[in-house]
Amino acid sequence: GESVGLHLPTLSVQEGDNSIINCAYSNSASDYFIWYKQESGKGPQFIIDIRSNMDKRQGQRVTVLLNKTVKHLSLQIAATQPGDSAVYFCAENKLGGAQKLVFGQGTRLTINP
């Protein structure tokens, strides 16, 4: 079946540096993508989303890039802080009807002081 996967399971960066988390998706029909942050012992928390009619979307310290040609999604976090340490998941969906998200495996981001 179709699935969303991540290139790297773990990522460590120095506090203050920028981080990039990658995601590959395989369902070309997907037109809505979301990044979630999951802290230990908690449920996933929405970070940012992007629709397939966009290539880039920016939020506060976060940017999501979408490359539909190679079915690749990335999350950039600027000036990382200790509170950014978490597992990050990408998820995909086809808009319309019930929202049935397909999640990737996740990347654990560790911010080193």
Partner 1 sequence: NAGVTQTPKFQVLKTGQSMTLQCAQDMNHNSMYWYRQDPGMGLRLIYYSASEGTTDKGEVPNGYNVSRLNKREFSLRLESAAPSQTSVYFCASWSRLSTDTQYFGPGTRLTVL
Judged by the rule CB under 8 A, the positions of this chain that interact with partner 1 are 1, 4, 9, 32, 34, 41-46, 49, 89, 91, 97-106
Q: Tokens representing 30? A: 């997907």
Shortest approach of partner 1 to residue 15 CB, angstroms? 25
Question: Exposure string (b/e) for 28-59, b if CB count within 10 Å is 16 or more?
Answer: eebbbbbbbbeeeeeebeebbbbebeeeeeee
> By CB neighbour count within 10 A (0-12 exposed, 13-18 middle, 19+ buried), where does 93 fall?
buried
Shortest approach of partner 1 to residue 88 CB, angstroms? 11
Shortest approach of partner 1 to residue 92 CB, angstroms? 11
Q: Smaller CB distance to partner 1: residue 49 or 68?
A: 49
Q: Smaller CB distance to partner 1: residue 52 or 69?
A: 52
Residue count (the chain): 113
Q: Smaller CB distance to partner 1: residue 9 or 82?
A: 9
- Closest alpha carbon to 109 in 35, 9, 4, 24: 9
Shortest approach of partner 1 to residue 60 CB, angstroms? 16
